[in-house]
Amino acid sequence: MGRGEADAIALAEALRTPILMDDRVAIDLARMRGIETRWTTSVVLEAHRREILDRKAAGRAIEDLVASGLWIRQDVLLRILAILGER
């Protein structure tokens, strides 16, 4: 976990607000401190579910996240793409 994640956790704790994170260690620490966490991909899926993003835009957002360096386990990525294909 880096300094950025540590600072984000401290800020979320001080503000008593949920936090958007993708680092497993940071998420575990935040949850141990009672902070609600969300994965970036879950936000994209929620936007798709609420029809804020259509299937194509949501898929592109996931692809852009991966292209920018977000690592997503292959089985998780396949499930995300399957969910997007169901709607």
Q: Which residues touch 41 (CB under 8 Å, ≥6 apart)? A: 22, 62, 65, 72, 76, 80
Q: HSE-up of 9 (CA within 13 Å, CB side)?
A: 21
pLDDT tens for 28-72 read 999 999 999 999 999 999 999 999 999 999 999 999 999 999 999
Residues 73 and 39 sit within 8 Å (Cβ to Cβ): no
pLDDT of residue 2: 85
pTM of the model: 0.78
The pairing of beta strand 37-38 with beta strand 19-20: parallel
Nearest-angstrom CA–CA distance, 23 and 5? 8
